[in-house]
A and B are shown apart, each in its own frame.
Chain A
Amino acid sequence: MSEADSPGAKLSAIDKASFKRELTQVVPHLRAFARGLCGRPDLADDLVQETMLKAWAAQDRFEPGTSMRAWTFVILRNAYLTDMRRNRFRGEYDEGVAERILTAPAGQEEPIHLSDLHRALLTLPAERREALLLVGAGGFSYEEAAQICGCAVGTIKSRVGRARAALTEMLANGNIPRRSSDDDIAHRAILEELDTVAAGNGISSQR
């Protein structure tokens, strides 16, 4: 979009080195975001690698001084949406990983199983899930999340609100799909919503 100030589109060695350094630094965050989005660690890591390749190829479009994390999240998100529409992620869920971790807030009798939380998260429509991940887990402001998702701030707020309400409801009632087979229903809904999301919003993913 804005490459007015890149003479000959050739980055200096210094810019290049700092780009690489910054990209390296955000990789753990990309992995966390990706895993929240698609559930399975191996697929998530594939997605991160894809993101890194795309980010690298587009590095002269990165404006130094802006948030590398936000910039790469946009790329990751677009890659995810594209892959989702190709039905690459089938709502699969790795029981093993989250099952091992429990979260027991201090002084609380019943720990929330992170596996339950994660599974509940994965049943949310993609757009609400990503909004909640960005704000509730990634620590982005509503404004930043809106920029990443290419939508209005109010839209993000409403998505986060709905996601929170849905999770609270699911966790309170134990109304969580047990198996990945149950996710098919949720997944169909997600895919339908994706058509809307991917059609209009967001920064167009190249290729």
Chain B
Amino acid sequence: MASNHRQGGSNGGGNEGSQRRAPEWADGLKQLYDSVVEEALPDNFRDLLDRLDALDDGGPPPGSNDNGQRTAGDRT
């Protein structure tokens, strides 16, 4: 193989026992993960939290569905 030693430097620690050099796909795995992390967050996630928040405040559930309904003051 062409010897491309690509030492990016930031070797996030925890890589003990360098049994073999990091497989060349290792970056790809991070990339897969990071590409999702960096996606713009669809509104419905924030909306969900806002709805839950409103529920807890005893406010009327805006557009409630069967998910996560929890009657306020009904905790044991």
Instruction: Please indicate the chain A residues that have their CB under 8 angstroms from the CB of B52 in the complex.
Output: 52-53, 56
**Does the CB pair B49–A103 fall under 8 Å?**
no
Closest chain B CB from A176 CB (angstroms): 11
**Does the CB pair A32–B23 fall under 8 Å?**
no
Instruction: Please indicate the chain A residues that have their CB under 8 angstroms from the CB of B75 in the complex.
Output: 9
The proximity string for A residues 38-51 relative to B, scoring 1 for CB distances below 8 Å and 0 otherwise, is 00000001001100
The proximity string for A residues 153-184 relative to B, scoring 1 for CB distances below 8 Å and 0 otherwise, is 00000000100100110010000000000000
**Does the CB pair B36–A32 fall under 8 Å?**
yes
Given A49, A121, A137, A168, which contacts B23 in the complex, CB threshold below 8 Å? A168
Closest to A24 in B: B49
Count chain A residues whose beta carbon lies closer than 8 angstroms to a beta carbon of B: 47
Instruction: Please indicate the chain A residues that have their CB under 8 angstroms from the CB of B30 in the complex.
Output: 136-137, 139
User: Contacts A24-B46, A27-B41, A103-B27; is A114 near B6 (CB within 8 Å)?
Assistant: no
Q: Which segment, of A72-80, A81-89, A104-112, A185-193, faces chain B? A: A104-112
Given A57, A121, A167, A168, which contacts B68 in the complex, CB threshold below 8 Å? A57
User: Contacts A108-B4, A171-B25; is A98 near B45 (CB within 8 Å)?
Assistant: no
Instruction: Please indicate the chain A residues that have their CB under 8 angstroms from the CB of B19 in the complex.
Output: 161
Instruction: Please indicate the chain A residues that have their CB under 8 angstroms from the CB of B2 in the complex.
Output: 108-109
Interface residue? A131 (CB, 8 A): no
* A135, B14: Cα distance in complex, Å: 9
User: Contacts A24-B46, A53-B67; is A142 near B29 (CB within 8 Å)?
Assistant: no
**Does the CB pair A56–B23 fall under 8 Å?**
no
**Does the CB pair A53–B25 fall under 8 Å?**
no
The proximity string for A residues 45-67 relative to B, scoring 1 for CB distances below 8 Å and 0 otherwise, is 10011001100110000000000
**Does the CB pair B25–A98 fall under 8 Å?**
no
* A87, B36: Cα distance in complex, Å: 24
* Besides the known contacts A20-B49, A24-B46, 17 further A-B residue pairs in the complex with CB atoms under 8 A apart: A16-B53, A24-B45, A28-B38, A29-B37, A31-B39, A35-B32, A45-B42, A49-B48, A53-B48, A53-B68, A107-B6, A136-B29, A137-B29, A137-B32, A137-B33, A141-B13, A141-B14
Q: Which 5 A-B pairs have the closest CB atoms?
A: A137-B33, A32-B36, A53-B68, A28-B37, A103-B28
Interface residues of B (CB under 8 A from A): 2, 4, 6, 12-14, 19, 23-39, 41-42, 44-46, 48-49, 52-53, 56, 67-68, 70, 75
